[in-house]
Structure 1
Amino acid sequence: MSRLLDMLTVRVDETILDAVKCIESGDLQIAFVVEAQERLVGVVTNGDVRRYLLQGGDTKLPVTACMNRNFRAVGLGATREQLLKTFDLGYNALPGLDANGRLCEIYTRQMTASPEVPVLARARAPVRMSFCGGGADLTYFFVDHPAAVLSCTVGLYAHATLVPRDDASVHIYSEDIAHEEHYPSLSQLLTSEHKSLLATIVSVIRPAYGFDLYLRSDFSVGSGLGGSSAATTAIIAAFNELRQDRWNTYEIAELAFQAERLCFGIAGGWQDQYASAFGGFNLIEFENQRNLVHPIRLEEAARFELEACLVLCDTGALHDSGQLHEMQRQEMEAELSQTDLLRESVTLCRRMHRHLIRCELFDFGLCLHEAWMLKKQFSSAVSDDKLDDIYAKARGAGALGGKLLGAGAGGFFLFYVQPQHRQAVVRAMHEIGCSTTNFRFESSGVTSWRTKIQ
């Protein structure tokens, strides 16, 4: 029994005088009368005693003679909201009873705030859908030639959960590839020769505590949606949620690029990290001195119409974007014409941007075809006979234009299809074994939050 309970409790066989002493011993001016097994049977206040004595009562009689049997009580574990509402009715103290009516707690208006409990951090980052400019976001191009990429994010996410530990050990779980890594400490992780991408991200952040890290995704590996960058961004955001001085969105994107491209060694550009971090429709400009994200304020009707006209088609073929980017880099170094192609892509990107903000979606759809024709010239590995056949059948069924998302060689095709042709395009894709996926645009970028560990 707590000290407050002990001070304010009297037994049914104790006298009214004993109850008065109990009442006067505390500031609440109340005593709680209990019988066997601490069952509460009544309460006594100064007012109850005065009224009893004015009627000629004897203080030597049992306290039951003047106690109030019609008392207000709450269940043990009552919520703060319930208690506040009851106190607001004029009560100063409330008995907390268990299911058997036993007095287990006394709640007062001076109840303390709930104690701080451990928290975990969660984050999710959307994948991107690039319309034009991919390839120009590679550093070896835009250090000498200003570049731009037009993209948006969709409602498919990488989800990260970070649970701090009391010890120094590090445990990493990837649901997508059914992979686990366990390290006795961060220093052991840092010296490991065969780190996964997730462990590499941790080695860049270097948290000062042990933790459990969980990652899962709404998309398959090799989809061409920038999934590895979304996963990297989500993990960084989860750690950022527990920081006192949080990184801003540009810093999150830069850390994601560092971990994925430089430290883990996946070849590729910069657009994926910025797209997942910022979210929404963006024109992202890349220059030697700076990268800038320009949000696009697309009219709602245009956004809905674009969403209705785009068809996402899974080719069933996975790709290695890092290998494709490396091949593109080598071919660009060998052929001067690659630079001219990328310049043309940047010009097309800016034209598509103008069509988009002016809601000229028919022209936007035609530009997707131009973008795909350009992209196929970047590298011999971007497409093959199977992918060319998929694209030809979609165009033959009525698609205005389209392009393969990501670096190429597999993943998802994105087609622009007017409403009267949508059913025919979807049917044509299913007939050749490709599945189509519904999606929604996502206006927010990476999002993080914390919650209590129950």
Structure 2
Amino acid sequence: MKQLLDLLTLGPQSTVMDAVTCIEAGKQKIAFVIEPDGRLVGVVVDGDVRRYLLSGGSTDALVEHCMNRHFKSVRIDAPREELLKLFDLGYHAIPGVDEHGRLCDIYTRQLRAEPEVPILTRARAPVRMSFCGGGSDLTYFFVDHAAAVLNCTVALYSHATLLPRADGVINIYAEDLNQHEHYADIQELLQHENKSLLSSVVSLIRPEHGFDLYLRSDFPVGSGLGGSSAATTAVIAAFNELRQDHWNAYEIAELAFQAERLCFGVSGGWQDQYASAFGGFNLMEFENQNNRVHPIRLEESVRSELEACLLLCDTGVSHDSGNLHEQQRQEMQPMSSQSESLKASVSLCRRMHHYLIRSELNRFGRCLHEIWMLKKQFSKGVSSTHFDGIYEAALAAGALGGKLLGAGGGGFFLFYVQPPSRRAVVQALKAFGCTPTNFRFDFDGVTSWRTKTQ
């Protein structure tokens, strides 16, 4: 660019003939007159010289006698849109000046596209709200029995931001846990014995570049909303955004299951990963050979009424779903009543699905009571005297039914409450230290995008 500027510029003490030489030297057929300090004071084109000479001027005169002092210029940070409009009005070369009026650049109609700049990717994955069938999505159950889960996702998300690095260094920041992992390269991460959940995800993807990964969530740890699966899904989606051949929702869910359940070793079912990947309301069926996600289409009025009647509240007690699922697995090893309870849960799941698609929401809400009674039979750790007290108080205040979300033992309670009873139920829950949480349904599932870093 400097070479082009030198070719097309001259000083105020230059002659008209110097301007002609300068004009002829460039394809733009234009010359720029600048002061010694670089300020642009005039522009000369063929027409300016011709008019000056026809009026009796001399080629030996100073260029300032024929230059155009009322030229059009733009700031060097002018948007492409502004430049294109000027070119469309007939300009062929436009000087770009800084805040002091110094000539810094010359824009022509061959204005090149912006060069590539570093990018980052982002992703967010919603948590799930399980209505019925949880526990039947455990592999050791559905290899021998029919399994079905009814759930939806809500607009509480895990957010992942991924910044690729030019070197091989890996940094993983988990805001909610206040943790920072640092690795010199991917090999050091792969050889690390005590991997976190996030580094377990990275060990499956094995990127060929370094990166900085940031994760944060809209919900507390141990909420019973499938938060670890949402986090895992968001991280996978952030890496997926960099791929040419994107993984589909099933593949993302399967990778999330592999990272969380098999590599990191947290016991649990399959519904959480599929829910975060697909989003919306779904009936999920699990069997030995195939997992199927069936989206449920609901009228907007039904979705709005369900949002108005469902009450989500934080008990303030965190839970460990992995330990609860492992306890359930051990208690179910012999064929027992727990297995029959899961079969009953699957049957109830299909009934709730029927009520939901037919908009029979009060019946749907009462089924939450039935599933809670069944859920407490899965394992001794699902409920406690404290949680039973919360539940009974909510029912006494007007709730039609409810349940602890996730594996139980803590986290969030979900109740179905008709609007006239909502205030009384909320007051009853607050007396136990529970905090109501506003929410909206999510219908997109995991989403990812890329943006410039500057």
What is the TM-score of this pair, normalised by structure 2? 0.99
SS of structure 1 residue aligned to 2:269? coil
Distance 1:200 1:433 in 2: 36
Amino acid at match of 1:419: P
SS of structure 2 residue aligned to 1:27? coil
1:145 maps to: 145
Taking the TM superposition and a 5 Å limit, the aligned residue runs for 1:197-346 are 197-346=197-346
Distance 1:433 1:319 in 2: 16
Give yes or no for the alignment of 1:177 onto 2:177: yes
Give yes or no for the alignment of 1:100 onto 2:85: no
Q: 1:336 Cα shift?
A: 2.4
Distance 2:354 2:278 in 1: 21
Distance 1:102 1:379 in 2: 77
Distance 1:66 1:316 in 2: 81
SS of structure 2 residue aligned to 1:377? helix
Taking the TM superposition and a 5 Å limit, the aligned residue runs for 1:373-412 are 373-412=373-412
Q: 1:61 Cα shift?
A: 0.3
Amino acid at match of 2:190: L
1:122 maps to: 122
1:417 maps to: 417
Distance 2:340 2:428 in 1: 35
Q: 1:435 Cα shift?
A: 1.0
What is the TM-score of this pair, normalised by structure 1? 0.99
2:56 maps to: 56
Distance 1:56 1:304 in 2: 83
Deviates more, 1:330-339 or 1:386-395: 330-339
Amino acid at match of 2:84: L
Q: 1:37 Cα shift?
A: 0.5
Deviates more, 1:24-33 or 1:227-236: 24-33
Q: 1:315 Cα shift?
A: 1.1
1:46 maps to: 46
SS of structure 1 residue aligned to 2:400? strand
Distance 2:148 2:3 in 1: 70
Amino acid at match of 1:290: N
SS of structure 2 residue aligned to 1:47? helix
2:26 maps to: 26
Distance 2:240 2:175 in 1: 22
Taking the TM superposition and a 5 Å limit, the aligned residue runs for 1:434-453 are 434-453=434-453
1:161 maps to: 161
Deviates more, 1:332-341 or 1:77-86: 332-341
Residue segments in structure 2 that go unaligned for 5+ positions in a row: none
Q: 1:400 Cα shift?
A: 0.5
CA displacement, residues 31-60 of structure 1 (integer Å, 9 cap, x when unaligned): 111122011111111111111111121111
Distance 2:148 2:199 in 1: 31
Amino acid at match of 1:85: K
Runs of 4+ that moved beyond 4 A: none
Distance 1:369 1:86 in 2: 69
Distance 1:21 1:143 in 2: 87
Q: 1:96 Cα shift?
A: 0.7
Deviates more, 1:143-152 or 1:335-344: 335-344
* CA RMSD across the alignment: 0.9
Distance 1:414 1:130 in 2: 9
1:70 maps to: 70
Amino acid at match of 1:45: V
SS of structure 2 residue aligned to 1:172? strand
CA displacement, residues 211-261 of structure 1 (integer Å, 9 cap, x when unaligned): 111111111110000000000000000111111211111000000000000
1:354 maps to: 354
CA displacement, residues 82-133 of structure 1 (integer Å, 9 cap, x when unaligned): 1111111111111111111111111111111111111111111000000000
1:131 maps to: 131
Distance 2:20 2:293 in 1: 74
Deviates more, 1:47-56 or 1:267-276: 47-56
Residue segments in structure 1 that go unaligned for 5+ positions in a row: none
Deviates more, 1:418-427 or 1:36-45: 36-45
Distance 1:193 1:38 in 2: 62
Q: 1:23 Cα shift?
A: 0.5
Distance 2:185 2:382 in 1: 42
SS of structure 1 residue aligned to 2:377? coil
SS of structure 2 residue aligned to 1:176? coil
SS of structure 1 residue aligned to 2:58? coil
CA displacement, residues 353-398 of structure 1 (integer Å, 9 cap, x when unaligned): 1111111101100111111111111111100100000000000000
Distance 2:400 2:191 in 1: 52
Distance 1:168 1:39 in 2: 45
Amino acid at match of 1:444: D
Identity %: 70
Distance 1:317 1:54 in 2: 92
Q: 1:146 Cα shift?
A: 1.9
Q: 1:334 Cα shift?
A: 2.5
Q: 1:283 Cα shift?
A: 0.6
Q: 1:350 Cα shift?
A: 0.8
